[in-house]
Structure 1
């Protein structure tokens, strides 16, 4: 197994765990203090290879408030958050919670819809961008926590609904828009933290109504499944789907082929053909890899919660408010500090699909760190957003793009 770091022809060779890390990366975490042998699925990934992006992000403008959401669409990367301006060469350009950059050059684009509150999630779909958050207006028009706009001009579409609560995540698949979050109803119809809309008609799907018993933080679609992750213990009253479940995107029915028993809440999700990767909370925090059956393949522990996951070229990128990757799963119950040694990775880290920490260094700063990661496999880009102001001590206020 080998790694390559783009932009550094010397940084290539056999990929081995850092000293004393082997135990942490070859076992499965079942609780914060107990370990069992790795699942057989873990050994099937032994031949995996990965190409790590460069740790120096390309030059991009600065953002003056927290970035909560990123999404690629065509040649553009979209940002959503709490910001009011984007700073280019010292000049402030007004952007009310939404902005767009050229994915190749990092240049600010004129696209500038106006949200009057936090933008929490974005999904780009062809000619449209779908937006969720805690706003009540978009471009001065009433839009309760959910809106769709055009990619060309940011013109608000007629798509309009009333959400009793707040959506935290959005996803688009086969003509449907899915939302997950903390809400009890949409348009006066009962919905338990999950809902779907027909994009052809703009209407709430009356038949798609799985009910999660607690918040849904992340959505990810792969191979005919909609994976949902969050704080919930049951969906439709069924157990065996604790924290993560796989749903039928068309019907909302639970897929019985995936079973989860994760202990702590899932904050972010990433999915590919190799499996499901979850940013998991708890004392410290952990990045956990699962097979498409739900069986845990491996888990690594950090001294703060991972909050976002993105997959690119055989590498799992994770962002959060951690400062270190722990050498074992043991952490202090009071503050999550690593008890058996640590390897510094500040707010960002890269791990192979086998669960081996790579030498990639892209250290951020701040307290809450990275809130969102999105990969663009076409251009081999990684977008990171959050509350950081530097990456590897270079100014990158709240948004960075790696290539």
Structure 2
């Protein structure tokens, strides 16, 4: 882990807009590999295979167009695999363990089989597991797998016919609801992240189990009770969460965008603002990577009335930027083009993986649509 502290001299340099003399851990440009013809909303990696889900109908591999409806798999060097299930609606969330890929979205059928909103595939065979059945009454926005459970966050109010407001857990055998896990939230969950003894949740909620808790919280993965020792000062809707050791990072929207770092008690360590929403965050080797629909990163913590950086203290970072774990801005700048930006980021097999609506990188020099892999 790197510990690059920001000195007063460095702050003065940043105020003048000069780049610091650090280098990020992953490549500045993505691999030239498999791309898709529309938005990617979720990405995961397992054993050298990258899975991406979204609202696309085709993948492009070495210039050849291949049918891939809402779900695609590639190797980490960007080569398209033969995994090609047919889904009739977009994918909004993914989770993976050593045996299975879990898929959430707005689909109702897969390969002609009725399978609504949540499904599971066997990683070895690539086949749909028709024995695993979970029924939610609205979109699952995020999922995490661990502790022999699949945790699901979203906009739903029932799971398998039972009341569950925005957050639930099912077993990994057949998708049966975990009765003991029943937290109550008032508004939707956009992110779930499992860590030892805690399930971190982010979204638009303002109450958890009746207690005031805005946008970011931690609950017990056993029974869903609120972790009262975690009280972050979060003031914007949370879209994504990354946990790295004793630090919790969240990407947020509001007046512009915001990335916040807190410790395990929720005490704020730092925040970094942008002139557009921060929608995805990932941590790798002491570096925090952020994606969104911003154009610039602010060099102070305040955004203006229209989400712009105040006093012109800013640097250009189109859709991506990186900081050290102590908030020193790095040179890493893939310079992607997109209006809606980056929706998902994940780390795996020594690489950073991103999904979104981008078309090119390097100020238009490199074409790479929807899915990008940055090798370490």
TM-score category, normalised to shorter length: over 0.9
Residue 384, structure 1, aligned to residue 354, structure 2: yes
- Deviation of residue 128 (structure 1)? 0.8
Q: How many Å separate the matches in 1 of 2:357 and 2:255?
A: 22
Residue 374, structure 1, aligned to residue 368, structure 2: no
Q: How many Å separate the matches in 1 of 2:281 and 2:61?
A: 28
The one of 116, 119, 143 equivalent to 2:88 is: 116
Alignment correspondent of 1:41:
none
Deviations 1:196-225 (A, max 9, x none): 001024211112110111110001112221
Deviations 1:218-262 (A, max 9, x none): 0111222110011111111112x2111111111111111101231
Tell me if the contact between 2:102 and 2:120 (Cα under 8 Å) persists in the aligned partners.
yes
The one of 203, 208, 213 equivalent to 1:235 is: 208
Alignment correspondent of 1:139:
111
Q: How many Å separate the matches in 2 of 1:354 and 1:274?
A: 13
Q: How many Å separate the matches in 2 of 1:191 and 1:2?
A: 42
Q: How many Å separate the matches in 1 of 2:351 and 2:266?
A: 28
Deviations 1:171-218 (A, max 9, x none): 001110000011111122111100100102421111211011111000
What are the equivalent positions in structure 2 for 1:74-223 lying under 5 Å apart?
A: 74-103=47-76, 105-157=77-129, 158-223=131-196
Alignment correspondent of 1:256:
228
Q: How many Å separate the matches in 2 of 1:244 and 1:21?
A: 31
Q: Which runs of 4+ in 1 moved over 3 A?
A: 15-18
The CA RMSD measured in Å over matched residues stands at 1.9
The one of 297, 311, 316 equivalent to 1:340 is: 311
Q: How many Å separate the matches in 2 of 1:214 and 1:369?
A: 24
Alignment TM-score, normalising by the size of structure 2: 0.92
Q: How many Å separate the matches in 2 of 1:129 and 1:351?
A: 31
Q: How many Å separate the matches in 2 of 1:186 and 1:21?
A: 51
Q: How many Å separate the matches in 1 of 2:65 and 2:123?
A: 22
Alignment correspondent of 1:19:
13
Alignment TM-score, normalising by the size of structure 1: 0.86
Q: How many Å separate the matches in 1 of 2:325 and 2:15?
A: 16
Shifted more, 279-288 versus 85-94: the winner is: 85-94
Identify if the C-alpha distance between structure 1 residues 349 and 205 changes in structure 2 by more than 3 Å, giving closer, same or farther: same
Residue 354, structure 1, aligned to residue 326, structure 2: yes
Q: What runs of 5+ residues in structure 2 fail to find an aligned partner?
A: 17-21
Tell me if the contact between 1:50 and 1:352 (Cα under 8 Å) persists in the aligned partners.
no
Q: How many Å separate the matches in 2 of 1:61 and 1:363?
A: 19
Alignment correspondent of 2:289:
317
Identify if the C-alpha distance between structure 1 residues 200 and 162 changes in structure 2 by more than 3 Å, giving closer, same or farther: closer
- Deviation of residue 89 (structure 1)? 2.5
Q: How many Å separate the matches in 1 of 2:250 and 2:257?
A: 11
Tell me if the contact between 1:196 and 1:204 (Cα under 8 Å) persists in the aligned partners.
yes
Alignment correspondent of 2:41:
68
Tell me if the contact between 1:385 and 1:398 (Cα under 8 Å) persists in the aligned partners.
yes
Q: How many Å separate the matches in 2 of 1:227 and 1:58?
A: 32
Alignment correspondent of 1:328:
300
Matched residue of 1:340: which SS? helix
The one of 226, 236, 240 equivalent to 1:268 is: 240
Matched residue of 1:120: which SS? strand
Alignment correspondent of 2:19:
none
Q: How many Å separate the matches in 2 of 1:52 and 1:2?
A: 13
Identify if the C-alpha distance between structure 1 residues 365 and 19 changes in structure 2 by more than 3 Å, giving closer, same or farther: same
Identify if the C-alpha distance between structure 1 residues 21 and 190 changes in structure 2 by more than 3 Å, giving closer, same or farther: farther
Tell me if the contact between 2:133 and 2:174 (Cα under 8 Å) persists in the aligned partners.
no
